[in-house]
Structure 1
Amino acid sequence: MRVDLFDFDLPAERIALRPASPRDSARMLVVDQDGMADRIIRDLPDILRPDDLLVFNDTRVIPAQLEGRRGEARIGATLHKREGPRAWRAFVRNAKRVRDGDRIEFGAGVTALAASRGDDGSILLEFDGDEPVELLLERAGRMPLPPYIAGKRAADERDADDYQTMFAAEPGAVAAPTAALHFTPDLMAALDARGIGHVTLTLHVGAGTFLPVKAEDTDDHRMHAEYGRIDAATADRLNAVRRAGGRVIAVGTTSLRLIESAAGEDGIIRPFDGDTAIFITPGYRFRGIDGLMTNFHLPKSTLFMLVSALMGRERMQAAYAHAIADGYRFYSYGDGSLLLP
């Protein structure tokens, strides 16, 4: 499909620079077969049904942005995918000043070898020393805010908490699964009391999630792979809920993409441990989920294509037009939507 079919105009003032406080006070646009309704996140227990199951991504964002030097050249690196115990694939600013075999100094005693360059222009960084890379990043790295926020303000101490979900447990993401940022312990208690369950899976979100689609046709776009894991107990729970007539509601496009990667043509979700580069566009037949909670996405992005595949492109264009006109806040720190096809 033509990528420009997924374009829309978004005023800059609609981009949220801080999350709602408290988190579950954010607005939520509900889109279903009956139309659209303006609600708030903490209404969720009244909207979902008992025996529905929410699926959260328990990845934890690491301080994946580094600033360093190679000689006199200033180098910026955003890690996006782990390739080994001490090796990370990174998108590098000023990459033309880095050659294979160069050593980059990131400060605080953290150095890395530029080992090789990928077809996508990324560079494989091999970190020196014996300390776990996570400890090195805690010393030298900073929280990797999305470019549409980082271009307007610097990351600060608040972001260390604001940009982690309450489910964050497995370090490895360089972007938050932002739909889950809206959830609080009080909201989870209300959902539990209503009989709405939840499970977690892990998908380490990569920096590729922020990359624009440069191709003119979706067939020519290449997705970056991300590592994900669904264990056998979680897969069994997802299948049991659907067999009993409940709905599996993915919280975030990351949870959805991993479930769909693990689901077979028969609709059975199986354990999964590996990379996924699934790219969902209109025409895709969903096999493992029955609904999606997600924030509002970039024009012409793979994620707007995904929600258009779930709900229909014209319906999502109308929903986004309503959200823009009605003052909804967009992107990672913005408001949410509940999409029930």
Structure 2
Amino acid sequence: ALLLFGIVLLYGVGSNPEAWGATLSMVPSSDAFSFSFLYQLLSENPNHLLLRAGVVLIISGIAFKVGAAPFQIWVPDVYHGAPMPITAFLAVSSKSAGFFVLINLVNGPFAGMSEFLLPLLGFVATFTIFFGNLAACSQRNLKRMLGLSGVAHAGYLLVAVMASMLLPGESDRAVWILFFYLFTYLLASFAVFGVMGLARVTDDSEHEFSDYENLAQKKPWAAFVLVVGIGSLAGIPPFAGFIGKLLLFSVAFETKLFLSIVAMVIGVVISIYYYFGWIREICFHPRPVFEDDEAKHDPWKDVGSVGMLKPALFSLVLASIVLGLWQGPIGDAF
């Protein structure tokens, strides 16, 4: 609804600029939806109230799609309630589609309002990073925790969007970094959700930290895949997630987004708390073993043959490690 209302406002002003007090040096195009027409309209009327409202509403609609705060309320609930394969798909596809649209808009028709959009996106990015990481710290349900950490990742990616707006003529570098980060996020997320899908929990939505206690002894290969995926999400070397975050820091520094850099550093430090809390559960038995623990259902006891899933998960791990050490031709774009 927000997205549609924003489009309607831009179209309404663009189809008859004079009636709404907007100026336009060119003869109005018959296509008020075209990017070139909207770019000129917004460039010549950056302070027009209706045009600003339309742009903000469109950005808000896309912010829902990528899970950016304060439009993130659906994310942990959908992650929690959806089946594991759907959760894995939404974690990556929704963000990728949303950021693809957003980066085309802010560097295309909305470029004429960059002075207005940059502070707005900066606030949203900072708020998203802090909210996602702080909210994830209090979660004991892993799917909700991963959903809220995904909110924080959306905040990091918004910094790349801002950098692309501040690199005229070189915005492709920021775009490449954004897509590289999304690809590393895909590798890590699919590895993590792939292993989580093997656990024989009573309810697919109720994955708790305790379900992964001492997994390194029960299923060493699954624990290895999970630790690599979590480490990449946390941005720990030598995994691809570390390179993705490092590239984000570099392009943010280059464009002098110093407040965003501070927010990202604090966000990464906070994320270490909940990511490594999960790794501790996987690699160690974090509490004394009691007799009634023997009667507790072990979600890993009945995991049998996993067929082609194991090679697929190891390929994700290998790609994450290789990209963390050597980017090859991809690195030339950075």
Instruction: Work out whether the TM-score is over 0.5.
Output: no
Q: Name whichever structure is richer in helix by fraction.
A: 2
Question: Which of the pair has more CA radius of gyration?
Answer: 2
Q: Name whichever structure is richer in strand by fraction.
A: 1
* Higher normalized contact order (CA 8 Å, seq sep 6+, divided by chain length): 1
> TM-score if structure 1 supplies the norm length?
0.25
